[in-house]
Amino acid sequence: MMDVYFTIMVIIVVIYYLSQRKFNYWKVRNLKYLSPMPFVGNYSAYIFQKKTLGETVQSICQKWPNEPLIGAFYGTEPVLIVQDPEYIKLVTTTDFYYFNGREVSDYIHKETLSRNIFFANGNWWNLFRKNLSPFFTSINIKRMFPLIANHCKSLDKLLETETQVSKDLDVSSLMMRYTLDCICSSTLGIDPTALSTTPSNHPFVHVGRMIFSTSTYRGIQTVFRAVWPNIFYGLGFKMFPNDITDFFLSVIKKQLQEREDERQNRHDLIDFVAKLQKEEYITGDSIHNLLKNSAPEKIKMKIDDVLLVTQVVSIFAAGFETSATTMSFVLFELAKNPEIQQRVLDEIDQYNATKQGGLNYTCITELPYLYQCIQETLRLYPSLQVVTREVFKSYRFPNGVQVDRGVRVHIPVLHMHRNPKHFKDPHVFNPDRFSPEQKHTVSDYVFMPFGKGPRLCIGSRFGKMQMMAGLVSIFTKYRLELLTGASTEVQFEPRSMPTQPKKALHLKFISRNSTFN
C-alpha cells in the first residue's frame, strides 16, 4: 500500500513540476509579468470559458497599461503580450520573418483541416499565400459582383416574405444565409440557395455550423488545442470532424468533373484549384529570403487533392462566418443609434437616385459613410480579438527582451480597439472616427481588424464587397429598431474562436414604404 501512495505522490509532484517548470521565463528576462497560477497561468477566465481570449488578454493589459511588452503564461507556457503600436509593427511587418507562424503552426500536420494558410507558417504558408493571392485581385473581385447582386435580390425577397409574418427577425441567421450564398457562388461556382431553403435542411448551413460550433465540447477542444496542442494531438484528438473534409472533397470533385466535361471557365476558386491541380507542384520564393543578406532561394512543393480542399475550406469558412457576424453587428449598432442610421439611409437614398440600373459595384466606393460604419463596427467587434503569433526564430526586441523559438505572442486587438489611449470614448459607436477628416488620427498598428503585414486577411476585399452590397440592399427598403426591452450591450460567446454574440441578435425590420410599425 505504501508503494501505491508513494507512486501517486511522485506522479503528483512530477505533474506539478512540469506545470511550473517555465514559470521563471519572464523573471530571468527582467520583463514585467503577472504571477501565474498552476496549470492555468494567467488565462484561467479563458480556459474555464468564462471570458473570450480577447477579454482575458484585455484584463491583463489593463494591469500594465504603459508597458510595451507584458509577460504572461498561457496555461503552462510563456506568452508575450505586445501592446505598443511600434512593437506590433515589428512583430507583424518589419521583422515578420521571426513571427510568421501562428500558435499551432508546428502541429498542422496532425490534422487534415489544419493544413491551411490560416494556421501554417514558414515556406508552407509562404507558397500557398503567394499562389492563392492572385484569386483575390481587384479584377477578380469585381468580376464576382453580379453574383453578389443576385443574392441581394434573393435576400430582398426573403425579407419581404419574413416581414409579412413577423417584424422581429434573427439577423444572425439571415446574414449567415446571405454570406453563405455569396461565398459558395463566388468561390465554388454553385448556388446553395441558403436564402430560399429552410436552414435546418441545408447541407452547407449544416457543415458551416460544424466548423464554427460553440458547443461546450467544442469550446473545451478549442482551449485544449490552443493551450496544450502537444497533449491534445498526443492523445489523438482532432478539432474538426472528417465529415467536413469529405463533404468539400465531394463537392469540389463534382465541380471539377462538370467543368472538364463542359469545358467551362468561370474564373472562380474551383478554376484556380483546377489549374494548381494540373501543375502538381507550386513554386515560389523561400520565406528565408526575407532575412537580410540571405541568398535568394526558390522552392517547390508537391500538392494533392486533400491539400487543395483544405485551402478551399479555410477560404469558405472565413468568407461567410466573419462577414455574417460583422454585418449582424452593423445592423445592431445602427438599430441602437437611429441618428447614425438616418445618415446611412440618406446616403443610400442619394446613391440609389443616381443608379437607375440597380445595385452595382460602385457601391464599394460611393458610400463612404456606410463603410465608416463597417469600420467602426470592426473596431468594437473585431473578428479576431487576439492576433496570435509564434516565434519562428529567436528574436531580441529594442528594449533588450529576447524570446526563443516556440514562444507564443498575443497581440490584443480588442484591447487596442477599446483603449481610451487610442480612441476617445472607446465604447461609443462613432463612425466619424474614420471620416476623411479624422481617419489620420487612427494609427495603422492600433486599428487592425484584418491583421497587419504579410498575414493581412487574404479575403478582406471580398468581405467588404459582400457586406456593402448586402447592407445597401437591406437599408434601401427597411429601417431597423431594437426590440422593446432588448439589451443595448452584446455579450461575447467565450467558446468561439472568432467573435460571435452569445445570443442571436434579433431586430425589428420596418418597411420604409409604410408607416405601419
Residue 8 has what pLDDT?
55
Over its C-alpha atoms, the chain yields an Rg (Å, rounded) of 24
Beta bridge partners of 157: none
Tell me how far apart the 2 most distant CA atoms of the chain are, in Å.
88
User: What's the grid cell of residue 81?
Assistant: 503580450
Residue 18 has what pLDDT?
53
Residue 15 has what pLDDT?
56
User: How far does Cα 400 stand from its chain's mean position?
Assistant: 32
**Residue (of 160, 113, 147, 451) closest to 313 by Cα position:** 113
Distance CA 147, CA 188 (A): 12
Q: What is the pTM of this model?
A: 0.93
Residue 436 has what pLDDT?
93
- If one counts every other C-beta atom within 10 angstroms of the C-beta of residue 61, the result is 19
The backbone region for 441, taken as left when phi is positive above 0, alpha when psi lies in -120 to 50, beta otherwise, is: alpha
Residue 514 has what pLDDT?
42
Domain spanning 2-511: CATH superfamily: Cytochrome P450 (1.10.630.10)
- Distances in Å between the alpha carbon of 3 and those of 7, 17, 76? 6, 21, 29
Residue 345 has what pLDDT?
98
**Segment 235-255, tens digit of pLDDT:** 899 988 888 888 988 888 888
Q: Which residues of the chain have pLDDT under 50?
A: 514-517
- 152 belongs to an annotated ligand binding site: no
Residue 516 has what pLDDT?
36
| Buried-state track 74-83, b at ≥16 Cβ within 10 A, e below 16 | bbbbbbbbbb
Distance CA 461, CA 10 (A): 56
Contacts of 382 (CB under 8 A, 6+ apart): 54, 413, 414, 417, 448, 449, 499
3-class SS letters over 292-319 = CCCCCCEEEEECCHHHHHHHHHHHHHHH
**Residue (of 116, 119, 134, 131) closest to 307 by Cα position:** 116
User: What's the grid cell of residue 388?
Assistant: 496570435
Confirm if 52 and 406 have CB atoms less than 8 A apart: no
User: What's the grid cell of residue 151?
Assistant: 443574392
Sole residue written with cell 491583463: 60
> Which phi and psi angles does 42 have, rounded to 5°?
-110, 10
User: How far does Cα 347 stand from its chain's mean position?
Assistant: 29
